[in-house]
Amino acid sequence: MRKAYKRTLLIAGLAAVGCVAGWLLAESGKEKLKPAEELQATDGNGGKAPAVRGQVGGPSGREPLQWWDDRLRDAERAGQWSVAADYAYRKAAFYRSEGMEKEAAEWDAASDAYWARDEVKDKRFYDGVPSETNAANASAISPYVSVAVEEGRELAKFEPRSGVYLGMFGIFDWPSVEKTFGRYHPIGLTYSGWRKDENDTRNYFPTRLVDSVKAAGGGAVQIGWEPQYGLDSVKDDDYVRSFARQAKEAGIPIFLRYASEMNGAWVPWYDEPAKYVEKFRLISRIMKEEAPNVAMVWSPNFWPPDNVGDYYPGDEYVDWVGFSLYATPLFDGKEDFSKNLIDYFIPLYNRYAHKPIMISEGAVSHYYRPAEKNYAKWAEGQLGNMYGFLPRLFPQVKAMTYFNMTKARTETLKGDHLYDLKENPLMFDLYRRLIGSDYFLSKVEQGSRTAENVRYVPLESAAGLAGKRKLFAYVRLPGDAQPRSVAVLQGGRKLAETFEMPWEVELDFSALDPLLPLEFVAYNGKREELARKTVTLANGGSR
């Protein structure tokens, strides 16, 4: 597995001890979202910060201001000065985009004052491109536009027509998931070992999580079923049949991720592709006979990619394709920001997009424990890549489960990387905002769809555009930094500007001049241009 993303000992350790069986009760109900309290913002030195102007709505795009104000106040109350500094700087960037230089200067000063109080002095990724990046990729903008989803395509078991199911690992009192993140997640991830010992005929179906999901309002459970004693222990016997019957009795959709990450040397079922295919097909046949509510998920790790195809059991036996997909800032023990998880995902997606795809587990590391180094801002951008861009860029991605391993559990298992969303306020805020989109689904149901029922295609190839459409711009900067805003212009006139990932706006194409190209411009907080893309509309004039 690529060292930049290694958490192999952590996952293997989970399998060896029965995959978090002893953790289930301990973690129940811990994560609660505290409501924001009203607090007068200061400049970080005890004085008042610039007056809050958090208007919502309006043609000038003021929607994020109130959100930023609330986050800034939360950060200040918690003494999270770098977070407060970042939100103050976002406000400065917004006012600068409006030509309000006095207000921009005031918020710049407030941001500097917050930074002065913070112990973290690493300000890379907070504005523009890190100067010491080792990335070779050039700046680029790729605009996409929403189009109606095709209605005729046959769907796989539990596949939604449009949108993405939300999933979560790490919280097992399911009603608390919505309380924590502000949105119901219909898929709960858990793991089940292959008996407690090799001769144990009892099964350990995760009834507790199933009951918790059902009590919270329904949904589905994804089960990582792991034959930790090796593939030879997998047989058509009472143990397997009993597990299948309990899956049926659960009465809700079950995504059975049997023997996942088989392409990685950290699991006992590695390096026997022919036997793996044989055993996967066996389990698939048994589930079809015993448990029609089970969808079989074939789920390799994204790394290494070169041996994945050897383990594919065939379309007849696979309902969904899943991938483990992680982002960390290291390669061979050194910082490396030259690639992101989207880069690694592209060839895998292209190979298996004939099936519905889930990110069966995935996360972003924001803290490297061996070096005690914080990558909070970089990680915010990676989470935006994961939940803002990835499901829109790849429309066959139909489910995503965040591996929210708590800090306490990570430390107990001596894991190198910290993925816990609540330990990074920037990621926690972004995650809550992104999953509020209509694009994410709160109910697992055959043929489920979003209210808009759209997918996204490259703007350059979209013809016949009319009426209101959503557009987003995937911005790729050296070092995988993120801009502060992206504006859309036509004929030198700004049509819209967005200040939050995934850089999405809405335009009325019926009101546009079809003969004039659209320009997408990415800016840093100082209003310096970072990248530009000009797109000639496919339904206007010559190309």
Coil, strand or helix: which one is 444?
coil
Phi, psi of 86 (to 5 degrees): -65, -45
Among the listed residues 485, 499, 491, the one whose alpha carbon sits nearest the alpha carbon of residue 531: 485
- 37-43 long-range CB contacts below 8 Å, 24 or more apart? 37/73, 37/77, 38/73, 39/73, 39/76, 39/77, 41/69, 41/72, 41/73, 41/76, 41/110, 42/76, 43/109, 43/110, 43/113, 43/114
β-strand pairing of 294-298 with 320-327:
parallel
Closest CA relative to residue 483, chosen from 526, 433, 541: 526
Sequence-separated (6 or more) residues with CB below 8 Å from residue 193:
15, 18, 19, 21, 204, 226, 228
- Residue showing tokens 């990387």: 417
Q: CA 529, CA 524: separation in Å to the nearest integer?
A: 7
- Could you give the CA distance from residue 405 to residue 411 in angstroms, rounded to a whole number? 10
Strand locations in 371-449 (E): 373-374, 397-403, 417-418, 440-441
CA dihedral 181→182→185→186, nearest 10 degrees, is 160
Cβ-contact 520, 532 below 8 angstroms: yes
Question: Cβ distance 484 to 524 under 8 Å?
Answer: yes
CA-closest candidate to residue 407, choices 223, 168, 170, 190: 170
- Rounded-to-integer distance, Cα 333 and Cα 2, Å: 11
> Catalytic residue numbers?
261, 361
- 316: which DSSP letter? G
Instruction: Say how many Å lie between the first and final Cα of the chain, rounded.
Output: 44
The bridge status of strand 454-458 relative to strand 440-441 is unpaired
CB contact at 8 A, 367 and 407? no
Question: What are the respective helix, strand and coil percentages of the chain, to the nearest 5?
Answer: 35, 20, 45
Tokens (6 digits) for 70: 């609330």
Coil, strand, or helix at residue 285?
Answer: helix
- Our CA dihedral for 516, 522, 528, 533, rounded to 10 degrees, sits at -40
Q: Are 340 and 2 in contact (CB under 8 A)?
A: no
Residues 6+ apart with CB under 8 A from 152: none
